[in-house]
């Protein structure tokens, strides 16, 4: 019933607007079309300049409301992201100036040169000097932006530092898997045809490769050390996903069949970020940024950035994937519960 | 005196003008309105089909904005419409993705490509270059009917059990290739691919016709540099379409093969739902290259016609020549050629070689130079003019404003160092909706309000038009401007719900505001649709040949031109299309010979 009422109101408003519009057409004809046209012209000219002024106030107001919710106030959580923020500020400054000049001219000219009986339009077809000016200046400004942009781009897309912590990330509908290379620093070989989740081999690791025996596999939550570069080797098992790391200003697609890489150096631990952001529930989230099916919006991973000590303690408690798959040959069959099961629990519990 | 009589009191004595043309052959209802070969009727067919699609596509956005703005609420009436897709009045995530996908597909291709260049290229090219019709009226008719067939298939896909395509309008495989990955990748995806293939045939037939007509059928004296800028814009648009659409066609066909014939063009090393697929050696990235090789020129296929229309409408209503005609043509050419060399800027984060990416950064930011030239030339066209704010002119001014706002954010995301942060966030949504969506629509509205009198021999209602403009202009900024802030917070696009994300959930209030405004803006578009159809039948009649005082040729035809456009000889052209305010005269039509004492420019 309520809906019908709403529809009825909508239709009434429509009819009302239509009747006003129709009536104004008759009025303008009766009043003399030329006269009413000029009157409308003045009204629209005024609206244009009012739109400019209110619009600029709106821009300021919007910034006032939402600047605090962007990632700028908390700063980049990775060293490499700092240069992205710098680049962002340079671009905002340049584009902001151009935006203000052109929009103000657009609406101001529209208002100022509205139709008037006193003025004749100025026959002005071209002017080589002017046109050269506004070809040359944008070209120079853009060159500057390209140079700065590429300088930063090559900095963080170059090779990762040698001492980086290697972590393999695998995306699938709709969760993330992480693998650490263990003490030998080498990942065991994989072959997607060996994938067999029922027999404790969800990543398709080739157990014949001895390098795989000390690899550690966890789900959903990734641990890493503050201040130490992390190199992610990114895979996907099914469709394209994307490792989105907004706080670190980084992003890389996970493409089935084609591994990609991404590296960055975290600046603050999760605990430090809780203080910086003033949000006691803060966590570093990995958002899937490439549409991957109906669960796309829930494909979340968690990164816990911690001190070296905390990390060492955590990883010492993790059993290698090989021994988790073959419990009978495990030399230390500690009564520890399966970490992948624990880790899959809600975030709040794990991060205390 | 009755209302109708007041409206039409001025028309006595001008009746003959409208009927001066000869009825040279007998036309039935079918040949005149359905299988018409008259470019003007075909343009109207494109336009009305485009309007129907725009309503559908816009409605989709209202539905998914309801979910984004009010994630906690339920709307029981949704279940009445959508059945199992909205159980209990809440959109199913699968259907949410289908809506997002179809909104993009419909608006980009069916409305802003077919509806915009299909309408205005068809309508204006023969009229403005001085031709009786297109080079091949028959191919032109086929072009529309291929579009119609594409529309039927796409519309049918909305009603299949597993739903329409739902992998985003960019349909990246493997998601779009594997039915196991998503309900929308079942029969709905096949229908999408078939529909798009038909659509591409429509674009090619149309494009070849536009190019041929502009190159070969110009009237006596109409050299290329005397053409209005609309002609140049449609010409480059058609060239872009003819060169890039076939690449998308090949991409679509390979995807159909992967889906149905067991090939592995895009598939490799895939385990889905525990099932190990045999495909090896394909590359999902190959599809992205093929897609964006069309996809990037596509955005210029949308925006170039809008630029052409804006230039024309702005010059006429400023009563001043367009500033820097040759620079305008040159920048159109520069934009069109550069648009082929920038496609990989959509792929900076796919693992593309960073060194290769750097070339795409350079070429992408280069596009800003011709774009800047255009903006400054428009501003100078307004400068010292004598501006009439017709609804068409207001939309042209709005186009420039949107093009500036959206173009500048392109400088952010074209730079790979920033794209790595902003890619696939709401910043991107804000950028392309402003620069391509809203600007494209503004160009289309400017053209519609301006040429409606030529199309139907009647005016649209001005008051409704002004309400339409101001609500749309203000609403568009209210919707898309704050989205930049969501993007700067890293909020990803294509999310059904943000409430579980610690990093993004603080924007719930803003999302609600945006949804609210978008519903109002949608209602304002319905006002336009009403005005359009009402005015076709009941609008105030046009009583003069040249109501806007324009120089170009289309206004030298009768008020309601018949098939063949000019009753007698096609007029000869003696000058360019922008002699406004020259030598103290308001305007000098193109058909008037250059006088002895006329000043040179």
Print the SS3 string covering B87-114.
HHHCCCHHHHHHHHHHHHHHHHHHHHHH
ipTM of predicted assembly, 2 dp: 0.91
Give the phi and the psi of residue B348 in degrees, each rounded to 5.
Answer: -60, -30
In the structure encoding, which two tokens stand for residue B508, read together?
């719930």
Taking the Cβ of residue B89 and every Cβ of chain A, the question of whether any pair is shorter than 8 Å is answered with no
Report whether pLDDT(B536) > 50. yes
Residue B24's pLDDT is: 52
How far apart CA A267 and CA A279 sit, in angstroms, is: 18
How far apart CA B167 and CA B97 sit, in angstroms, is: 7
Residue A111's pLDDT is: 95
Task: Report yes or no: B213 and B139 within 8 Å, Cβ to Cβ.
Answer: no
Residue B335's pLDDT is: 96
CA B472 to each of CA B394, B408, B479, B518, B526: distance values in angstroms, whole numbers, following the listed order? 11, 21, 10, 10, 11
pLDDT tens for the 352 residues of chain A, in order? 677 888 898 889 888 988 898 888 888 888 888 888 899 999 999 999 999 999 999 999 999 999 999 999 999 999 999 999 999 999 999 999 999 999 999 999 999 999 998 888 899 999 999 999 999 999 999 999 999 999 999 998 999 999 999 999 999 999 999 999 988 989 999 999 999 888 889 999 999 998 999 999 999 999 999 999 999 999 999 999 999 999 999 999 999 999 999 999 999 999 999 999 999 999 999 999 999 999 999 999 999 999 999 999 999 999 888 888 887 777 776 554 444 444 444 444 333 3
Q: Quickly state the pLDDT bin for B12 (edges 50, 70, 90).
A: very low
Closest CA to B493 of B426, B410, B422: B426
Residue B217's pLDDT is: 94
Distance of CA A154 to the CA centre of its chain: 20
- Give the angle subtended at the CA of B445 by the CAs of B549 and B455, to the nearest 5°: 55
**B384 φ/ψ sector (left φ>0, alpha ψ -120 to 50, else beta):** left
Alpha carbon distance, N-terminus to C-terminus of chain A = 49
Residue B20's pLDDT is: 41
State the CATH class of domain B3-20+31-587: mainly alpha
Segments making up each domain of chain B, as ranges: 3-20+31-587
Residue B3's pLDDT is: 47
pLDDT digits (tens, 9 = 90+) for B170-207: 999 999 999 999 999 999 999 999 999 999 999 999 99
DSSP B439: H
Q: What is the dihedral of CA B475, B480, B483, B487, to 10 degrees?
A: 180
In the structure encoding, which two tokens stand for residue A17, read together?
């607007």
Residue A117's pLDDT is: 87
Q: Would the CB atoms of B498 and A289 count as touching at under 8 Å? A: no
| Residue B304 vs residue B76, higher pLDDT | B304
Task: Report yes or no: A152 and A216 within 8 Å, Cβ to Cβ.
Answer: no
Taking the Cβ of residue A161 and every Cβ of chain B, the question of whether any pair is shorter than 8 Å is answered with no
Report whether pLDDT(B10) > 80. no
Q: Quickly state the pLDDT bin for B374 (edges 50, 70, 90).
A: very high
How far apart CA A246 and CA A251 sit, in angstroms, is: 8
> Tokens 């359009």 map to which residue?
B532
**What percent of chain B lies above the pLDDT cut of 90?**
88
pLDDT digits (tens, 9 = 90+) for B59-69: 999 999 999 99
Q: Would the CB atoms of A142 and B366 count as touching at under 8 Å? A: yes
Task: Report yes or no: A265 and A228 within 8 Å, Cβ to Cβ.
Answer: yes
What is the rounded average pLDDT of the residues B577-596? 90
How far apart CA B156 and CA B147 sit, in angstroms, is: 14
Model pTM? 0.93
What is the rounded average pLDDT of the residues B515-525? 95
Report whether pLDDT(B7) > 80. no
Which residues, in sequence order, are CB contacts of A144 under 8 Å at separation 6+? A94
Report whether pLDDT(B546) > 60. yes
How far apart CA A300 and CA A274 sit, in angstroms, is: 19
Taking the Cβ of residue B166 and every Cβ of chain A, the question of whether any pair is shorter than 8 Å is answered with yes
Tell me the fold of A165-326: Immunoglobulin-like (2.60.40)
Q: Quickly state the pLDDT bin for B371 (edges 50, 70, 90).
A: very high
Q: Would the CB atoms of B382 and A113 count as touching at under 8 Å? A: yes
Residues 169-198 of A with CB under 8 A from B: 172-173, 192-193, 195, 197-198
- Give the angle subtended at the CA of B264 by the CAs of B263 and B266, to the nearest 5°: 130
Residue of A nearest to B318 (CA): A121
Q: Would the CB atoms of B388 and A115 count as touching at under 8 Å? A: yes
Residues 360-389 of B with CB under 8 A from A: 361-362, 365-366, 368-369, 372-373, 375-380, 382-389
Q: Would the CB atoms of A122 and B404 count as touching at under 8 Å? A: no
Residues 511-530 of B with CB under 8 A from A: 523, 526-527, 530
Residue B584's pLDDT is: 85
What is the rounded average pLDDT of the residues B9-17? 42
Taking the Cβ of residue A39 and every Cβ of chain B, the question of whether any pair is shorter than 8 Å is answered with no
In the structure encoding, which two tokens stand for residue B487, read together?
């993007």
Compute the mean pLDDT over every residue in chain B, rounded to the nearest whole number: 92
Q: What are the contacts of B470-473 at 24+ separation with CB within 8 A?
A: B470/A47, B471/B520, B471/B521, B471/B524, B471/B527, B472/B398, B472/B438, B472/B441, B472/B442, B472/B445, B472/B521, B472/B524, B472/B525, B473/A51, B473/B394, B473/B398, B473/B401
Give the H or E element holding residue A233.
Answer: strand A230-236
Closest CA to B259 of B207, B161, B193: B193
Q: Would the CB atoms of B270 and A237 count as touching at under 8 Å? A: yes
Bridge pairing between strands A241-245 and A250-254: antiparallel
- Interface A:B, Cβ pairs < 8 A: 379
> Tokens 């209005």 map to which residue?
B228
Closest CA to B524 of A293, A21, A14: A14
In the structure encoding, which two tokens stand for residue A84, read together?
């992205």
Task: Report yes or no: B305 and B116 within 8 Å, Cβ to Cβ.
Answer: yes
Residue A334's pLDDT is: 58
Give the H or E element holding residue A241.
Answer: strand A241-245
Residue B355's pLDDT is: 93
Q: Quickly state the pLDDT bin for B156 (edges 50, 70, 90).
A: very high
Segments making up each domain of chain A, as ranges: 26-68+76-115+130-157, 165-326
Chain B interface disruption, residue of A31, A56, A124, most B CBs within 10 A: A124
10 Å CB burial of residue B207 (0-12, 13-18, 19+) is buried
CA B190 to each of CA B95, B98, B250: distance values in angstroms, whole numbers, following the listed order? 17, 14, 15
């Amino acid at each position: 019933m309520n809906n019908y009422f709403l529809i009825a109101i909508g239709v009434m408003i429509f009819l009302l607007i239509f009747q006003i519009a129709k009536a104004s057409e008759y009025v303008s004809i009766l009043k003399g079309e030329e006269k009413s046209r000029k009157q409308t012209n003045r009204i629209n000219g005024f609206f244009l300049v009012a739109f400019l002024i209110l619009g600029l106030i709106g821009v300021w107001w919007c910034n006032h409301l939402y600047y605090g919710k962007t990632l700028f106030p908390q700063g980049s959580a990775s060293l490499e992201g700092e240069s992205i923020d710098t680049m962002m500020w340079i671009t905002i400054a340049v584009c902001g100036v151009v935006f203000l000049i052109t929009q103000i001219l657009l609406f101001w000219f529209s208002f100022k040169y509205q139709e008037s009986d006193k003025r004749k339009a100025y026959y002005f077809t071209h002017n080589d000097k002017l046109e050269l000016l506004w070809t040359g200046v944008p070209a120079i400004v853009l060159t500057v932006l390209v140079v700065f942009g590429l300088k930063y781009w090559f900095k963080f897309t170059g090779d990762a530092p040698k001492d980086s912590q290697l972590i393999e990330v695998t995306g699938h509908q709709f969760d993330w898997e992480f693998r650490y290379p263990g003490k030998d620093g080498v990942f065991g070989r994989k072959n997607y045809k060996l994938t067999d989740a029922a027999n404790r081999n969800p990543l398709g690791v080739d157990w014949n490769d001895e390098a795989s025996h000390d690899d550690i596999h966890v789900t959903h939550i990734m641990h890493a050390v503050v201040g130490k570069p992390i190199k992610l080797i990114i895979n996907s098992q099914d469709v394209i996903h994307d490792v989105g790391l907004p706080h670190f200003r980084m992003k890389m697609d996970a493409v089935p069949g084609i591994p990609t890489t991404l590296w960055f150096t975290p600046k603050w631990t999760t605990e430090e970020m809780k203080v910086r952001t003033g949000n006691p529930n803060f966590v570093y989230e990995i958002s899937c940024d490439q549409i991957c099916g109906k669960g796309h919006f829930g494909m979340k991973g968690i990164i816990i950035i911690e001190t070296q000590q905390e990390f060492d303690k955590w990883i010492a408690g993790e059993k290698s994937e090989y021994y988790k798959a073959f419990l009978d040959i495990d030399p230390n069959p500690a009564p520890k519960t399966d970490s992948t099961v624990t880790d899959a629990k809600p975030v709040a519990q794990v991060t205390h | 005196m009755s209302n109708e009589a007041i409206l039409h009191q001025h028309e006595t004595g001008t009746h003959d003008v409208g009927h001066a043309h000869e009825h040279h052959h007998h036309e039935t209802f079918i040949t005149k309105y359905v299988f018409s070969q008259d470019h003007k009727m075909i343009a109207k067919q494109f336009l009305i089909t485009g309007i129907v699609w725009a309503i559908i596509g816009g409605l989709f956005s209202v539905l998914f904005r309801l979910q984004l703005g009010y994630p906690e609420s339920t709307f029981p009436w949704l279940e009445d419409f959508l059945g199992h897709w909205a159980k209990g009045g809440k959109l199913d995530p699968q259907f949410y993705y289908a809506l997002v996908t179809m909104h993009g597909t419909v608006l980009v291709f069916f409305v802003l490509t077919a509806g915009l260049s299909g309408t205005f290229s068809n309508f204006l090219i023969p009229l403005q270059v001085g031709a009786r019709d297109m080079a091949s009226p028959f191919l032109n008719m086929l072009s529309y009917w291929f579009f119609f067939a594409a529309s039927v298939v796409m519309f049918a896909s909305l009603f299949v059990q597993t739903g329409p395509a739902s992998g985003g309008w960019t349909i990246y495989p493997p998601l779009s290739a594997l039915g196991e990955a998503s309900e929308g990748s079942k029969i709905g995806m096949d229908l999408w691919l078939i529909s798009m293939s038909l659509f591409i045939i429509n674009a090619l037939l149309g494009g070849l016709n536009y190019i041929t007509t502009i190159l070969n059928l110009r009237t006596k004296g109409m050299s290329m540099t005397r053409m209005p800028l609309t002609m140049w814009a449609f010409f480059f648009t058609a060239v872009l379409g003819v060169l890039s659409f076939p690449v998308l066609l090949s991409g679509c066909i390979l995807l159909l093969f992967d889906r149905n014939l067991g090939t592995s063009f895009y598939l490799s090393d895939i385990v889905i739902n525990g099932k190990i697929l045999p495909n090896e050696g394909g590359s999902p990235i190959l599809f992205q290259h093929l897609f964006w090789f069309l996809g990037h020129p596509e955005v210029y296929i949308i925006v170039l016609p809008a630029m052409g229309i804006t230039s024309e409408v702005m010059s006429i209503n400023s009563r001043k020549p367009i500033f820097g005609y040759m620079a305008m043509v040159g920048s159109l050419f520069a934009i069109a050629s550069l648009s082929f060399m920038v496609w990989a800027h959509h792929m900076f984060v796919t693992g593309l070689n960073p060194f290769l990416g750097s070339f795409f950064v350079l070429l992408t930011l280069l596009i800003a130079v011709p774009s800047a030239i255009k903006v400054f030339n428009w501003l100078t066209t307004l400068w010292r003019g004598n501006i009439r704010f017709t609804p068409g002119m207001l939309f042209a001014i709005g186009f420039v404003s949107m093009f500036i706002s959206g173009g500048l954010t392109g400088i952010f995301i074209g730079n790979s160092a920033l794209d790595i942060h902003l890619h696939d966030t709401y910043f991107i949504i804000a950028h392309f909706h402003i620069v391509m969506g809203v600007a494209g629509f503004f160009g289309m509205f400017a053209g519609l309000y301006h040429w409606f009198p030529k199309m139907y021999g009647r005016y649209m209602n001005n008051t409704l038009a002004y309400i339409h403009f101001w609500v749309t202009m203000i609403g568009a900024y209210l919707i898309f401007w704050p989205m930049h802030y969501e993007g700067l917070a890293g909020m990803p696009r294509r999310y059904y719900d943000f409430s579980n994300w610690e990093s993004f959930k603080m924007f719930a209030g803003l999302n609600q505001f945006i949804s609210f405004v978008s519903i109002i803006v949608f209602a304002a578009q319905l006002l336009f649709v009403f005005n359009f159809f009402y005015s076709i039948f009941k609008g105030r009649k046009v009583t003069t040949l040249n109501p806007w005082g324009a120089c170009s040729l289309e206004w030298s035809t009768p008020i309601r031109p018949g098939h063949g456009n000019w009753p007698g000889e096609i007029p000869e052209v003696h000058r360019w299309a922008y002699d406004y305010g020259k030598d103290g005269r308001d305007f000098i039509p193109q058909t008037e010979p250059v006088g002895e004492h006329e000043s040179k420019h």
